[in-house]
Chain A
Amino acid sequence: MIPALAADGLLAAGILALALGCVATRRAFASAALFIAYGLLLALAWARLDAPDVALTEASIGAGLSGVLLLGGVRRLEGLAEPSPDAETGPLLTILIGIGCAALTVAIGAAVLLLPDPTPSLAPQVAANLATTDLGNPVTAVLMSFRALDTLLESAVVLLAVVCVWALTPEGGWGGVAGLRQPVVRDGPLALLARVLPPLGIVIAIHILWVGADAPGGKFQAAAVLAAMWLMPWMAGLAPAPRIDARWLRLVLAAGPALFILIGLGGALAEGAFLAYPPGWAKPLILAIEIVLTASIAVALALLVMGPPEPPR
């Protein structure tokens, strides 16, 4: 009990220190680096909270992909413009905002402490209905059956985000290769990792996807790992980014959400409710959706990090 409490306390202090550091630092690069460390500690916190699925997601997306994105953003901003000329917020206003934010923290903290005990929970209902989905992982059952609508809509949101990022293409760049062209890195850790990791990472991603039905893991985590395995050689200049007008690319992006919706509509026709799976078909249909969706989301996540095409210089 006491060692566990001490571990939690230490972890909590670490997370808060890194978060404060992120906000206090004026240099964007240092801030982004601290943010990645923060994300990794947060993943540990999720493990402590007995939420291994969330921990995997936080580590791969919250820390991993976000970190790559933010560090890349900082690097490019340094190459682009002078540091932002806007004046810093004045001291009086800063203090007032600080007081307001502290009050919010106190209010939320009070709300957390005042939550009813025992906290109402749907865990018993999930347990009671888990068998009908043929899935062993309760989180996957929620994502793919009980609340499948959210997952479906979320895959549409990710696709829409790609459209949004592409909509920001500067004049003259439309139809080109996604993101900046990366110079080839011949030495150093990135060059090595970019060559060694992808085969390993792809195997790991397939494993995460496959066990996700019954153990922690699933399509989002697998897709994030796959995206990273594309981004790493891309950053090292070893793997090309695709042209955004490539037909295959757009088909892969759309395939996952489209299949999900069509299976959902099939359920409406056959079973009388959208996203109802016919008895005995739940697991194969869910697996089919997950496999195709993993491919779509992996490509979408990679494209989101790469950014819109740039016009040729």
Chain B
Amino acid sequence: MAWDMLPMLAVMLPVLAMVAAVPLGARGAERLTLAYAPVGLALAIGIMLVVQLGGVPIRQELGHWAPPLGIAFRADGLAAAMLLTAALIIGAIAIFARADFGTAAGAAERRQAFAFWPLLLGLWAAINLAVVANDLFTLYVALELLTFAAMPLVCLDGSRATLQAALRYLMFALLGSVLYLLGVALIYGSAGTLDIVLLAQRVRGDIPVMIAIAVMTAGLLAKTALLPLHLWLPPAHAGAPAAASAVLSALVVKGSFVLVLRLWFGVMARVPMPDAAQILAGLGAAAILLGSVAALGQARLKLLVAYSTVAQIGYLFLMFPLLAASAGEVAAKAWTGGVVQAVSHAFAKAAMFLAAGIMAARFGHDRIADLSGAGRAMPVTLLTFALAGLSLMGVPPSGGFAAKWLLLSAAIGAGQWWWALVILGGGLLTGGYVYRVLAMGLRAGDPAPEPAPVAWQRDGIALALALVSVVLGFLPLAAFGLVQIGRLDVSP
């Protein structure tokens, strides 16, 4: 077995499964997805092991055509971490979603069931492609694949409100990708290649390239929902079915975020942009504070969780000025902190949306003020919410703590102490909105209706995801060395 095939398989097999899902129909597609999930997980684990043990990224030139003429896949440590995150979360969601989108033998095909499985597979393929593709235009196709798979998930229930949210999301997403494509054109015109590794060597900060990076970053921020381009996110993520919300908040916004990293610390590896990075982190800080305050004020649980995503995305952008202004150990800490934040938020937020969905299904609503009695009726669900919340707050020991601690010490190390204040303030506000939900849930109240028979399984999946986000905090720091492998902004 040639190891260099693994990233290609991690992309092409879910694409093939998505294609096959259409003629198979809803029931066949469901079984295919569940059968493929362990294969996809095995591929992700294999890639992680090969990258970790080899200490270098896995590369394959497709069709044996070397860049700049051809296209290469390149799975570095960041890609390996994201592939594993995606495989675990999507596999869990696939099992969780059977109760909503399953089709019994002999039953007629339903619209939601037919659409959900190929969309989930397409989303998986798109995420994997977005993290392993090393070509700016292939990444554009990955972005579109991601948008097409995510948009219908938003409005799967077909109600007017979710259709409206989906249309708004689609407009933001399309504008984002077309701006990104504009940058691709200008970069090709300046450097004659779209291969990120070659660009990292060739690109100097001339004007067309700087304009290209500016419009691409703007487009990608719209897709990542960084404040002030976040307006589409809360209605879209809160209105979707729980399983869909979980993948949207956990993974879809991370796809475009990884692309921003590839631009700033791949294409522009030799051209640091410390001033622009301060602006980016400033927007991140505003997102943390305003997003958390907005979450505090929400009356509905799913909207609270969605605004929490707006805030947590903000943390991802704190790493930019720290990386731009420092080198060596401090920069390494900032990089690891940012990536661990992306990963631990993915698990915590998936768990939180699933828990919110379970509660909403049981109570028949998600009004926070009427959730009293949840603690007695559904202790596991509330525990899941609490564990995920601890990780988001950054309470030790948890993945969120590891991420925020690394970012905090990098901020101190880089002499940019003001970001440390933002991190601490954000943690307090997060504690505020998580506490609000828990306090209401623990209050005595009317017993909720009896759970559905599959409830224990769904509770177990949500709890397992929350536990992963916590357990990340128990890993020794050396384990995070994986994500350093193949960084292009470190001189070889």
- Chain A interface (Cβ < 8 Å from any Cβ of B): 104, 107-108, 110-112, 114-116, 119-122, 125-126, 129, 145-150, 152-154, 156-157, 159-164, 166-171, 174-175, 245, 247, 250-251, 253-254, 257-258, 261-262, 264-265, 267-268, 271-277
Contacts and interface: CB of A to CB of B under 8 A. Distances in A.
Contacts of B145: 153, 156-157, 160
B115 interface: yes
Contacts of A168: 152, 155, 158
A276 B122 contact: no
A261 B108 CA distance: 30
Interface in B21-56: 22-23, 25
Contact of A160 (B60, B118, B182, B211): B118
Candidate in B23, B118, B156 with the most chain A CB atoms within 10 angstroms: B23
A65 B13 CA distance: 32
B60 A149 contact: no
B207 A265 contact: no
Given A265-B12, A272-B2, A157 B211 contact: no
Interface of B: 2, 5, 8, 12, 15-16, 18-20, 22-23, 25, 60-65, 68-71, 108-112, 114-115, 118-119, 122, 125, 129, 137-138, 141-142, 144-145, 148-149, 151-152, 155-156, 158, 182, 186, 189-193, 206-208, 211-212, 215
A276 B148 CA distance: 28
B211 A107 contact: yes
Contacts of B114: 163, 166-167, 174
B18 A171 contact: no
Contact of A170 (B60, B142, B158, B207): B158
A125 B149 CA distance: 35
Given A107-B211, A157-B141, A274-B63, 10 more contacts: A122-B69, A153-B15, A153-B138, A157-B144, A160-B148, A163-B22, A163-B114, A167-B152, A273-B63, A276-B64
Contacts, number: 174
A50 to B, nearest CB: 16
B19 A274 contact: no
- Majority secondary structure, A binding face: helix
18 contacts: A104-B215, A120-B191, A121-B192, A145-B63, A146-B63, A150-B138, A153-B145, A154-B141, A156-B18, A156-B125, A159-B19, A160-B118, A161-B148, A171-B158, A254-B23, A268-B5, A272-B2, A273-B60
A116 B190 contact: yes
Q: Which 7 interchain pairs have the tightest Cβ spacing?
A: A120-B192, A167-B115, A167-B152, A111-B208, A250-B23, A275-B63, A174-B111
Nearest to A258: B19
Contacts of B60: 273-274
B12 A264 contact: yes
B115 A163 contact: yes
Contacts of B141: 150, 153-154, 157
